Amino acid sequence: MTELERKHDRTPVPKEWAYAPAPESRDVVSLDERYGHYVGGQWLEPSETYTTISPASEEPLAEVGQATPEEVEAAVAAARDAFENGWSGASAAERAKYLFRIARILQERSREFAVLESLNGGKPIKESRDVDLPLAAAHFFYYAGWADKLEYAFPNRRPRPVGVAGQIIPWNFPLLMLSWKIAPALAAGNTVVLKPAETTPLSALLFADVLRQAELPPGVVNIVTGDGRTGAALVKSEGVDKIAFTGSTDVGKAIQRELAGTGKKLTLELGGKAANIIFDDAAIDQAVEGIVNGIYFNQGHVCCAGSRLLVQESIYEPVVEKLKRRLTTLRVGDPLDKNTDVGAINSEQQLDKIRELVESGEQEGAEIYQPPCRLPEKGYWFAPTVFTNVAQSYRIAQEEIFGPVLSVLTFRTPEEAVEKANNTPYGLSAGVWTEKGSRILWMAQRLRAGVVWANTFNRFDPSSPFGGYKESGFGREGGRHGLEPYMQFDGSEHFSG
């Protein structure tokens, strides 16, 4: 026997070709038993607390504060004090210095943050490691660069900070949304009170430690945790000059009503029901990857998710067949496993909402497909789902599901695609897949969406503004545009002469 043949004999043939477990270590994160509110650079003992859990296992992770209106006021007062006594008068290069430091520390501690984000939020470690963390650091890095160039960004308009910004963020990209909000606010010279979502407070609380390491002056960033009541108290606080909100359209509307007539500035980034439009000349395999990335990324907990697939009729069958086959290869399970593609649903409440809408889809007559997959017993899970035979009037074609659920519709002509894509109260994003450059431009001009991706989906960059039309909200985040809501201008005297 040759040496090679002998080796073959000794190496066992695998019984199956499934992926072996590849767990990321939890040990890189050390959690306190209990967290307070981060106010004026100190930890404030909370008067009320609740337990935050891991949605993948329902395991309790820590006790966190449920901030009362008084505690919110203490945070707002600390932010006001920091604004007036130093931060707004600090040199722009000095502000940039802190932002660069934060960017660098986030990069250095990225593994720790990625694990914590997956633990508390349920998203696959692959995504928190490769998307959330690099992008969060990139936002601080990007806005650090603007801090001393505001006069160039807005020539002849004398940009000045607004004051104290109240920022309320959701649970789908906790640290990334924090970065989208805090980086431009500080670059423009404001101070901040931030409230993370009630289900995912831990990465914001760890971020307070980054602020300590960066030696950011006390009170420039304050973090209060709690549910919608805490958010409502922040919106109501008279000491706040600007509110930035990302979340549901209902709460966005309530905030807008509350602030009407107060003179406070407001930006809203709300829901979406994006169309992902595939023309018959598109590269189908690439498009299928784009469809999967568009709706199953982050369990579909994405405001700009491509939740309505519009396929040109002539390629409907091959696209749906390839898509279904691709779904069978998605691995659903432990968010901390490096091979997981689809993690846990963020909360029981969100799972209930997904279930209700999926049930409505079945009742209204759509055809459901789910690949065979075994879901873990504990925690909140939902299998990747495709609905075909969907009419535009069905709830699953109209309402934001915010889960791994895709509704497939068809069209014949580009005009029909535009009409169907725009037939929604939302207008956040859209995708177009075609080989023809002229058709991309033709479509982009007609789609009522803040972002239109061409031959790709869910691509983000700090230099690119993001935001919506209609019920998706107003105001832009990212890019130079993202600075504007955090500044006031008095350009009128310049314009007149």
Task: Catalog residues that contact ligand NAI under the rule CB under 6 A.
Answer: 168-170, 172, 195, 197-198, 227-228, 231-232, 235, 246-248, 251, 254-255, 269-271, 303, 350, 353, 400, 402
* Nearer to ligand NAI among residue 159 and residue 271 (C-beta): 271
Closest CA to 182 of 421, 493, 391, 483: 483
* Nearer to ligand NAI among residue 211 and residue 357 (C-beta): 357
To ligand NAI, the closest distance from the beta carbon of 254 in angstroms equals: 5
* Nearer to ligand NAI among residue 182 and residue 418 (C-beta): 182
Closest CA to 401 of 291, 327, 306: 306
Determine the residue type at 493. Answer: E
Tally Cβ neighbours within 10 Å of residue 356: 13
* Nearer to ligand NAI among residue 254 and residue 444 (C-beta): 254
In the chain, the N- to C-terminal Cα span, in Å, equals 95
User: What residues contact residue 477 under an 8 Å CB cut-off, 6+ apart?
Assistant: 180, 181, 184, 244, 267, 269, 465, 466, 467
Beginning with the edge strand found earlier in the chain, give each strand of the sheet holding 308-312 in spatial order.
367-369, 385-388, 405-411, 308-312, 275-278, 429-433, 451-454
- Residue written as token pair 């789908």: 172
To ligand NAI, the closest distance from the beta carbon of 265 in angstroms equals: 16
Half-sphere exposure of 283 (CA within 13 A, CB side): 8
Tokens encoding 257: 């009503």
Residue in the shown chain whose Cβ atom is closest to ligand NAI = 231
How wide is the angle at C-alpha 325 spanned by C-alphas 384 and 375, nearest 5°? Answer: 35
To ligand NAI, the closest distance from the beta carbon of 417 in angstroms equals: 24
Supply the residues annotated as catalytic: 269, 303
Closest CA to 229 of 376, 71, 384, 351: 71
Secondary structure (3-state) at 332: strand
To ligand NAI, the closest distance from the beta carbon of 191 in angstroms equals: 19
Residues listed for the chain: 497
Euclidean distance between CA atoms 403 and 345, whole angstroms: 8
To ligand NAI, the closest distance from the beta carbon of 239 in angstroms equals: 16
- How many whole angstroms from its chain centre is CA 312? 30
Tally Cβ neighbours within 10 Å of residue 464: 14
To ligand NAI, the closest distance from the beta carbon of 248 in angstroms equals: 3
* Nearer to ligand NAI among residue 251 and residue 421 (C-beta): 251
Buried b (16+ CB within 10 A) or exposed e, 74-83: bbbbbbbbbb
* Nearer to ligand NAI among residue 146 and residue 394 (C-beta): 394
* Nearer to ligand NAI among residue 235 and residue 449 (C-beta): 235
To ligand NAI, the closest distance from the beta carbon of 240 in angstroms equals: 12
